[in-house]
Structure 1
Amino acid sequence: MSYKIAFFDIDGTLVDEEKRIPADAIEAIRRLKERGIEPVIATGRAPYFFKALAEEVGIESYVSMNGAYVKYKGQDLHESKIALEVLEKLVGLAQKHKHELVFEGKSAYFSTSPEHPFVFEAIASLRVEHPGLDADFWRKEGIYQVFLHCESHEEQLYATELPELRFVRWHAKALDVLPNTGSKAEGIKALLDRLGIKPEEAIAFGDGLNDKEMLQLVGLGIAMGNSHAELLPYADYVTTAVDEGGVKNGLEYAGVL
């Protein structure tokens, strides 16, 4: 297969546990670009969480917030916001159960309580600036994704009451909340359609539960060696861990380096 584009998750794929990009991954992406293959970030993170990283690795385009906001070479390409009435139901339910929320807009994010230990612990794991405090931010600006801070046994309180939403855990104390049709695959499809590239001409790398749909969509879905065990059945190939040359080895397996 002749591949034309490659999508890369960030946490656990492009960066290690210390949020550093291995030198061999930077070099592999440089070589990939030399061969005319477009590298694109595909992440659950919002754009303001990875601007410096994208610049360091030389990637111009991204599928962010689990497919809800896509930008290609500086141009907005796809947006999928959570409906205001659905957000209102989520906020009411979170207040009822005394759980904190973090609302992600296009250019900023705010929490109902940034000092809550669950919020602090989860956000700290991302190594990014902590959110400001604005419990009504969701009323003022379009929201693409929400962090719900609760433990795993409490998830069902929301899934049964809010069928309009999808909940994907990324931390012991936090879940991504997105539209029920939302996924990285949705954003990737929008980008591929715009570029006239078939899914089978794409490669994707991931390691987490929010990468399932993405790996299934593309022609070659590669799971990192450090992946969540539940992701592995969705991969066509399992490369080595992020700090063991995982990106480079996966691209070599694909025959593009």
Structure 2
Amino acid sequence: MENPAVFDVDGTICFDGRRISEDIVEALRGLRRFRPLIFASARPLRDLVPVIPKDLQDQTLIGGNGAFVRHAGQVEVVGFRVGDRRMLDELIDARGYAYLLDGPWNYAYTGDADHRIFRQLDAGRLASRVERSRLESYSKAVLFTENAQTISRLRRAGLTVTHHPEEGLIDVAPSGISKYGALRALHVSARSYTAFGNDANDVDLLRNAGQSYCVGDHPSLSFAEYFLPPGDVARTIRGLTRARV
């Protein structure tokens, strides 16, 4: 895949959790004429698809911070190893954590119904909310805790843990999974792509980009080459289009 432009979604090109504004959509449509687009989100594919305009859904989608990939009509899903799933279940049971567990398609949720995450769950009514025991595998886990011992235990086990203190939760992905890891699996090499992100789960994505844009000023992305307020995203994408003409 030659010189793609890679976009995180929430907080980067989508600011209300439901839709991408028309000026950004039009800018993306213009850029698509010159470069492949990749949308790389913490959302699983089930929750990512409804946010992407239909005419852009043929572009590559990376969900679950790299656990889900849809490319050229094929879907690949990575799940936690059996022992890692058992560890997650033990932590949930022992500490009583509320959670969101995503399987390959369906999900289990015990968190607050007023939380932003719940409001964004399965907006397209494409899946089912089930008991976690009914999920054939876990591909992504959100635990509503900031407990340092839990974070340390998960990281020692080799899992990818992103702490979101502003929301009081941790995002957990299977060992070795990241947005940049998904790009490498698609044969996209370091420095060969442009990336836009806004949060801690975009660190590897932006660090390995040829051009890196941070929307906002998240401290984890202080190394980014460019910093944008949300209102400048569409203009910046249009600038990439002009640079290719």
Q: Shorter chain as normaliser: what TM range?
A: 0.7 to 0.9
1:134 aligns with one of 131, 136, 152: 131
**TM norm structure 2:** 0.85
2-structure distance, mates of 1:105, 1:135: 9
The answer to whether 1:169 aligns with 2:163 is yes
Question: Is residue 117 of structure 2 the alignment partner of residue 123 of structure 1?
Answer: yes
Q: Could you tell me which of 204, 207, 230 is aligned with 1:213?
A: 204
Sort the Cα spacing of 1:159 and 1:179 in 2 relative to 1 into closer, same or farther, 3 A.
same
Give the whole-Å Cα distance in 1 for the aligned partners of 2:130 and 2:171: 19
The alignment of Structure 1 onto Structure 2 pairs a total of residues equal to 236
Summarize deviations over 1:164-186 as a string: whole Å, max 9, x none: 22221345232211124221111
Q: In the alignment, which residue of structure 1 is the partner of 2:219?
A: 229
Residues 144, 169 of structure 2: 8 Å contact kept? yes
Distance 1:73 1:227, change over 3 A: farther
Q: Give 1:52 deviation, angstroms.
A: 2.2
Task: Quickly say closer, same or farther: Cα 1:92–1:122, change in 2 above 3 A.
Answer: farther
Q: Are residues 183 and 247 of structure 1, via their aligned partners in 2, closer, same or farther at CA, if it must alter by over 3 Å?
A: farther
Instruction: Note the C-alpha offset of 1:85.
Output: 1.2
For 1:53 and 1:252, how far apart are their aligned partners in 2?
23
After superposition, residues 35-184 of structure 1 pair within 5 angstroms as 35=34, 37-56=35-54, 58-60=56-58, 61-76=60-75, 78-111=76-109, 113=110, 116-117=111-112, 120-124=114-118, 126=120, 128-129=122-123, 132-138=129-135, 141-150=136-145, 152=146, 154=147, 156-162=148-154, 163-164=156-157, 165-170=159-164, 172-184=167-179
Q: Report the Cα distance in structure 1 between the residues aligned to 2:116 and 2:163, rounded to whole angstroms.
A: 11
| Paired residues of 1:7 and 1:41 also in contact (CA < 8 A) | yes
Cα shift at 1:240: 2.8
Shift in alpha-carbon separation, 1:248–1:127, aligned structure 2, 3 A: farther
* Structure 2 unpaired stretches of 5+: none
Aligned to 1:239: 228
RMSD of Structure 2 on Structure 1 (CA)? 2.4
User: Structure 1, unaligned stretches of length 5 or more?
Assistant: none
| CA 10–86 in structure 1, closer or farther in 2 if over 3 Å, else same | same
TM-score by length of 1: 0.82
Q: What fraction of aligned residue pairs are identical, expressed as a percent?
A: 20
| Aligned counterparts of 2:152 and 2:117: Cα–Cα separation in 1 | 26
Give the Cα separation in 1 of the matches to 2:132 and 2:87.
14
Could you say if the C-alpha distance between residues 57 and 207 of structure 1 is closer, same or farther in structure 2, counting changes exceeding 3 Å? farther
- Give 1:26's aligned residue: 25
Aligned amino acid, residue 204 of structure 2: E
Matched residues in 1 for 2:22 and 2:121: separation? 19
Letter in 1 for 2:179: K
User: d(CA) in 1 for partners of 2:201 and 2:27?
Assistant: 24
